[in-house]
Amino acid sequence: MKNRILLIVFFFFSVINCFGQEAKSDTNDLTNLSIEELSKMKSKYKATDMEKTITLAIEAASHKPLPLRKSPSIISVITDEEIERSGATDLMDIFQMIPGMEFNVDVEGVVALSFRGLWANEGSISMQIDGQEINEIAYASLQFGNHHQISQIKKIEIIRGPGSSMYGGCAEYAVINIITKKGSDIKGMNVNAIAGQTAKTYTKQNIGVAVGNQHKDFSYHAAGILGRGQRSDRDYRDVYGNSYSMIGNSDLDPSGISAGMKYKSLSLNFLYDNYHTTARDETIGIMSKAYPLDFVNCMTQLKYAAQLNRKIQLQVRLEHKYAEPWRFKGMPDAVDSLYPTYHLKANSYRAHVSTLFDPLYWLNLNIGIESYLDNGRMVSGQQFRADSTDQVSYLNVAPFVQGLLKTSVVNMTIGARYDISSAFGSAFNPRLGVTRRVGIFNFKFLYASSFRAPAIESIQQGMFKMRLKPQRSSTMEFEASVKLRKDMYLSVNVFDINTTDAIRYFVKADSPITGYPDGYRNSRVAIGSKGLELEYKYKSDFGSFNFIYSHYSVGNKGVDRGNNVPADRTQTLGIAKNKLTIAGSFNITPKIFLSPSLNILGRRWGTTGIDSNDRGVFSEFKSQTTINLYAGSSLLVRNMTIGAGIRNITNTDIIYIQAYNSLHAPLPGMGREYYLKISYQIPFKKQS
**CA-wise closest residue to 240 among 282, 278, 279:** 282
Q: How far is CA 170 from CA 111, 284, 440, 529, 597, in A?
A: 18, 27, 35, 19, 32
Asked if 530 and 557 count as a contact pair (C-beta separation under 8 A), the reply is: yes
The pTM of the full predicted model, rounded to 2 decimals, is: 0.90
pLDDT (0 to 100) of residue 47 = 61
pLDDT (0 to 100) of residue 467 = 87
pLDDT (0 to 100) of residue 655 = 97
Q: Report which residue type is found at 374.
A: D
pLDDT (0 to 100) of residue 22 = 38
Asked if the model's pLDDT at residue 685 lies above 90, the reply is no
Q: 557: which DSSP letter?
A: S
CA gap 663, 657 in Å, rounded? 11
DSSP string, 259-310: EEEEETTEEEEEEEEEEEEEEEE-SSSEEEEEEEEEEEEEEEEEEEEEE-SS
* pLDDT bracket for residue 18 (50, 70, 90): very low
Asked if the model's pLDDT at residue 518 lies above 90, the reply is no
Asked if the model's pLDDT at residue 242 lies above 60, the reply is yes
pLDDT (0 to 100) of residue 35 = 46
**CA-wise closest residue to 493 among 449, 555, 444, 557:** 444
Asked if the model's pLDDT at residue 433 lies above 60, the reply is yes
Across 605-631, average pLDDT: 92
pLDDT (0 to 100) of residue 104 = 97
* pLDDT bracket for residue 68 (50, 70, 90): confident
Asked if the model's pLDDT at residue 509 lies above 80, the reply is no
Q: How far is CA 158 from CA 98, 155, 395, 451, 540, in A?
A: 9, 10, 28, 18, 23
Q: What is the percent of the chain where pLDDT is above 70? A: 89
CA gap 301, 309 in Å, rounded? 25
Across 448-476, average pLDDT: 92
Tell me the average pLDDT of the chain. 89
pLDDT (0 to 100) of residue 562 = 81
pLDDT (0 to 100) of residue 599 = 97
* pLDDT bracket for residue 20 (50, 70, 90): very low
Asked if the model's pLDDT at residue 412 lies above 90, the reply is yes
In three-state secondary structure terms, 186 is: helix
Q: 342: which DSSP letter?
A: B
pLDDT (0 to 100) of residue 649 = 97
In three-state secondary structure terms, 458 is: helix
**CA-wise closest residue to 76 among 155, 142, 20:** 155
Per-residue pLDDT tens for 203-214? Answer: 999 999 999 999
* pLDDT bracket for residue 491 (50, 70, 90): very high
pLDDT (0 to 100) of residue 54 = 64
pLDDT (0 to 100) of residue 512 = 44
Across 650-664, average pLDDT: 94
pLDDT (0 to 100) of residue 66 = 78
pLDDT (0 to 100) of residue 55 = 66
Per-residue pLDDT tens for 23-53? Answer: 343 434 444 444 444 444 444 445 666 666 6
**CA-wise closest residue to 402 among 155, 66, 38:** 66
pLDDT (0 to 100) of residue 14 = 38
**What phi and psi, each to the nearest 5 degrees, are found at residue 266?**
-110, 135
Per-residue pLDDT tens for 546-556? Answer: 999 999 999 88
pLDDT (0 to 100) of residue 464 = 77
Asked if the model's pLDDT at residue 10 lies above 70, the reply is no
pLDDT (0 to 100) of residue 410 = 94
Q: 335: which DSSP letter?
A: G
- Domains, the chain, ordered by start: 2-683 (2.40.170.20)
Across 597-618, average pLDDT: 92
Give me the count of residues in the chain: 688
Residue 37 CB burial class (10 angstroms; 0-12, 13-18, ≥19): exposed
Asked if the model's pLDDT at residue 515 lies above 70, the reply is no
Q: What is the percent of the chain where pLDDT is above 90? A: 75
pLDDT (0 to 100) of residue 235 = 97
CA gap 348, 337 in Å, rounded? 31
Asked if 125 and 170 count as a contact pair (C-beta separation under 8 A), the reply is: yes
**CA-wise closest residue to 346 among 375, 371, 372, 318:** 375
pLDDT (0 to 100) of residue 60 = 72
Asked if the model's pLDDT at residue 110 lies above 50, the reply is yes
627 or 564: which leads in pLDDT: 627
